[in-house]
Structure 1
Amino acid sequence: MVNSFINKKSSINAEKWLLKSCIFAVLLLIFTPTSAQNAVLKRADRAYQDLAFPDAIRLYQKVLKKKFNKTAMIRLANCYRLTHNYKAAAAQYAKVVALNQIPPINYFNYAQALMNNGAYQEAEQWYQRYAKEKPGDPRGAKFAESCRNIEAFYQDSAWFQLQNYPYNSSEDDFGPAWFKNGIIFGSARGEGDIIGSRYQWNDQPFLDLYFAPVEPSGQPLGRPRLLNGKLNSRFHEAGCTVDEKNRLIYFTRNNYFHGKKGVDASGMINLKLFYAEVSVGGWKNLRGLPFNSDAYSVGHPAIDPAGEFLYFISDMPGGFGGTDIYRARRSGNSWSQPENLGPVINTPGNEMFPFIHRNGRLFFASDGLGGLGGLDIFQVSLPAKAITPPINLGSPINSAFDDFGLIKSSDQLYGFFSSNRPGGKGGDDLYHFSILQPGLKAVVIDQETQ
């Protein structure tokens, strides 16, 4: 009887165990995929917030194969746009704009991606949609007008000769500045990177400053070399300017100084401006500018020919958009408070890479003033009392892609600029340009008079 009871009890316990095992297995089937998907989504969101867009793309693609997620769809489109995959961006934004109750900025981003792909007629419709949804943002109407008058941007194309800089790398090369008998520019070619660090935004090496000699005509004279001295660090350096006497260099660096990095409240390492004195064989007295801040970025410096005003960009509070152009006046070793150049130049978008020519003209890039698409290069006169409306330089300086960082020779016959247009060697490439017909008219598009 005891044995019978034991066997019966054992049988019952075995059945209970088997039942529990089956229930647990069913629960695993029900909940494990969902938990795994949520984990992947969390990883994707973290990568997106950390600006690790290649990783975010891979993870969001994985999430969207399993289920619908509106936020993931939008963020995937943003990732494609921010990594300059414009075909994939246009295809993904097409899915996003078909959804209900989405932020209107997606209409604008979709239109931008369509412009990048040369689909101007379709882009105009989405710019108009954005203008209707956000009437307080002038970018929608401006870009819709640009799409309607796109041929005007090509009227002087034959008078320019462009050459892809022969020493571009397979990575990013951009932001040239005149220095002695050559140019300094930022590059991710990684020649100074001993550790092999990669920037998670685009999976490229961190940017460093390089010098390349050029002929009096601006034609390349030799291979670039890494700037010696202590200007380059283990983080980003790019976007520089040198005064006309070649005594001071101003440059952009991540918030990193004396071996310490600074972060904002969210843990982000912003950009700061530094300057140093040019010395024999290197640089000395490296220091930061007084209007730097851990809380926001300042960068892309341009010193005027007199060495009096330093122009730069910032996303500091109180601006008109993403990044605005500011200037500060130097008096001895002191600097004035930064002055925003105002709404004629600055837009709800981004203004970047200023350059001041000897003739008093400011050249800069903007994605908020209309044009061929992405960042376009503009020029504007800077008289003492008034600022005239910026003028788009048109094709071939500008394209449907990002064009920026223009510098011009003193005689205005040649120069360099940066672009990520197709046909280059890397992401952003340097281009040399010659003007075959001086005194050309730039493109002015006015909504009322055209």
Structure 2
Amino acid sequence: MMTLLRNTSLPFVAAILLSSCASYNLQKADQAYDLMQYPRAERFYGKVLRHHEMRPARLRLADACRRHSDLVSAEKHYALADAAHHITGDTALNYGEVLMGNGKPEVAAELFLRVLHETPENGRALDLYASTQSYGSFFADSGRFIVNRLNIPGISTAFSAVPYRKGLLIAGEKKVASLTANPWNGMSFLDLYYSEKKTVVTWTEAQPLSGLVNGAFHEGPAVLSPDGRHLYFTRSNYVKRKLRKDEGNTSHLMLFRATQDSTGRWTDLRAFAYNSEYWSTGHAALSLDGKMLYFASDRPGGLGGTDIWRCRDNGTGWSEPENLGSTVNTAGNELFPMINGSSLYFSSTAHENMGGLDIFETHEQEGRWSDPMNMNAPINTPHDDFSMVLDSTTEGGYLSSNRDSLDQVYVFWANKPIFYVEVRCSMIPACSFRTCR
């Protein structure tokens, strides 16, 4: 009898241990997710779900994968959750965006229609559904540009390139030891680098920008003033190597300006007047005369996630931020503005979109913005495409994209058409050459 009791108690003890282990892993997963440590959260949610199917954990795992740009895994986990019970609301829109990013607009359309059935006036769902219906048109003229990835040694990721000296100023990350890594993705924190051109796609090893710009946390992207004396750059909110956070434990981004001294070092850091510890401000762009500053922010008064704003130089500083309005901004996210004359290039998760962030162009005339035009393939892809800057010396420029997994800088130029001319030749007996007519 004692042996029987011992044997029957084994499954019971195992169940207790398994439950305790699952509870521990779930706690660790939730902590990592709340701290935006998405790779770590993925590992712990995976451990939980090997033994217990928990819908909240499954959805959080899907979202962690989405935020970490692992769209294949995100689709898998969203699909498992949706099969058990239909996903609705913003979660369904996120799932649909993942499907768009994986090149499945027809399946994504079903999710967007599901949301529109519940909330017919949902602006984000309307834009996303419209994108699925015009998906083929994004590829109609995909041969008009040639796009090639730049090979920039010394950094693992690179984005937001701007012409600087004889090369490019870029934001980038390196592979580092785990103790100093950014918990978001396991890489270093962003720094600003400089690289010079060797060939069209091959560049010198990236070197950190000299001076006081690079610090303990994120620095980048950046833009130069027209005279090259000032650098406006995005930076984490930190003081003396310590992040500053709001009541929700979120550290927001801020804009800073640096000035180049006589030795070429960037010093004299000054904070933008409209930074806040309660919302993010970054992704600066300047008009050609330097009198207008554009930026992205999720500050109050916007139309959705992050919007494009601008300030005017009034002689004593920057004017109050002005939202560019509903023609440009949406219920989604608008980011990475770039100004070229009267044209504004920016990226958005909304409007009519191929998936992820797409690059759009709009023009200002008499204070009004034209309807944003999708730049289409091959500038845009179903992945994140952003930070387009034109090169005044070529019929092209640079853009950033994670189309090949990690964020990288790409060069593009116009693909000039080749004209084929029918040529007829006749032999002239008295001569040793051919003449064409």
TM-score interval, normalised by the smaller of the two chains: 0.7 to 0.9
Q: CA deviation at 1:131?
A: 2.4
Tell me the equivalent position of 1:435. 414
The 5 A counterparts of 1:32-431 are: 32-100=17-85, 102-167=87-152, 171-189=156-174, 197-214=180-197, 222-257=204-239, 259-279=241-261, 280-357=263-340, 359-410=341-392, 413-422=395-404, 427-431=406-410
Unaligned runs of 5+ in 2: 418-437
CA distance in 2, matches of 1:324, 1:210: 27
CA contact (8 A) 1:228 1:282 kept: yes
> What letter is aligned with 2:29?
A
SS in 1 for 2:24: helix
CA distance in 1, matches of 2:85, 2:132: 26
List per-residue Cα deviations over 1:317-355 (Å, max 9, x = no partner).
221111111111223341211111111111111111100
Q: CA deviation at 1:271?
A: 0.7
Cα gap change, 1:195 to 1:111, in 2 (>3 Å): closer
CA contact (8 A) 1:218 1:414 kept: no
Q: CA deviation at 1:22?
A: 11
Mean Cα deviation higher: 139-148 or 345-354: 139-148
CA contact (8 A) 2:151 2:203 kept: no
CA distance in 2, matches of 1:281, 1:310: 24
SS in 1 for 2:31: helix
List per-residue Cα deviations over 1:76-107 (Å, max 9, x = no partner).
10011111111111111112223437441222
CA contact (8 A) 2:152 2:195 kept: no
Cα gap change, 1:54 to 1:270, in 2 (>3 Å): same
CA distance in 2, matches of 1:360, 1:68: 54
What is the TM-score normalised by the length of structure 2?
A: 0.88
CA distance in 1, matches of 2:277, 2:109: 39
Q: CA deviation at 1:301?
A: 0.6
SS in 1 for 2:368: coil
List per-residue Cα deviations over 1:42-80 (Å, max 9, x = no partner).
111000000111111111111112222111011010011
> What letter is aligned with 2:217?
F
CA distance in 2, matches of 1:371, 1:254: 29
CA distance in 1, matches of 2:379, 2:349: 15
> What letter is aligned with 2:313?
R
Cα gap change, 1:43 to 1:206, in 2 (>3 Å): same
Q: CA deviation at 1:135?
A: 2.5
CA contact (8 A) 2:213 2:267 kept: no
CA distance in 1, matches of 2:149, 2:12: 60
List per-residue Cα deviations over 1:238-278 (Å, max 9, x = no partner).
11111111011100010024555321112222111100112
CA contact (8 A) 1:375 1:402 kept: yes
Mean Cα deviation higher: 131-140 or 50-59: 131-140
CA contact (8 A) 1:86 1:117 kept: yes
Cα gap change, 1:103 to 1:123, in 2 (>3 Å): closer
CA distance in 2, matches of 1:211, 1:30: 57
Q: CA deviation at 1:194?
A: 9.5
What is the TM-score normalised by the length of structure 1?
A: 0.85
CA contact (8 A) 1:186 1:210 kept: yes
CA contact (8 A) 1:313 1:323 kept: yes
CA contact (8 A) 1:254 1:269 kept: yes
Tell me the equivalent position of 2:429. none
CA distance in 2, matches of 1:160, 1:101: 41
CA distance in 2, matches of 1:431, 1:180: 19
Unaligned runs of 5+ in 1: 1-14, 16-20, 439-450
CA distance in 1, matches of 2:394, 2:116: 37
Q: CA deviation at 1:31?
A: 3.5
CA distance in 2, matches of 1:112, 1:429: 21
CA contact (8 A) 2:150 2:202 kept: yes
CA contact (8 A) 1:131 1:138 kept: no
SS in 2 for 1:222: coil
Percent identity between the aligned chains?
33
Tell me the equivalent position of 1:448. none
C-alpha root-mean-square deviation of aligned residues, in Å? 2.7
CA distance in 1, matches of 2:277, 2:324: 23
> What letter is aligned with 1:130?
V
SS in 1 for 2:83: coil
Q: CA deviation at 1:221?
A: 5.3
Mean Cα deviation higher: 256-265 or 49-58: 256-265
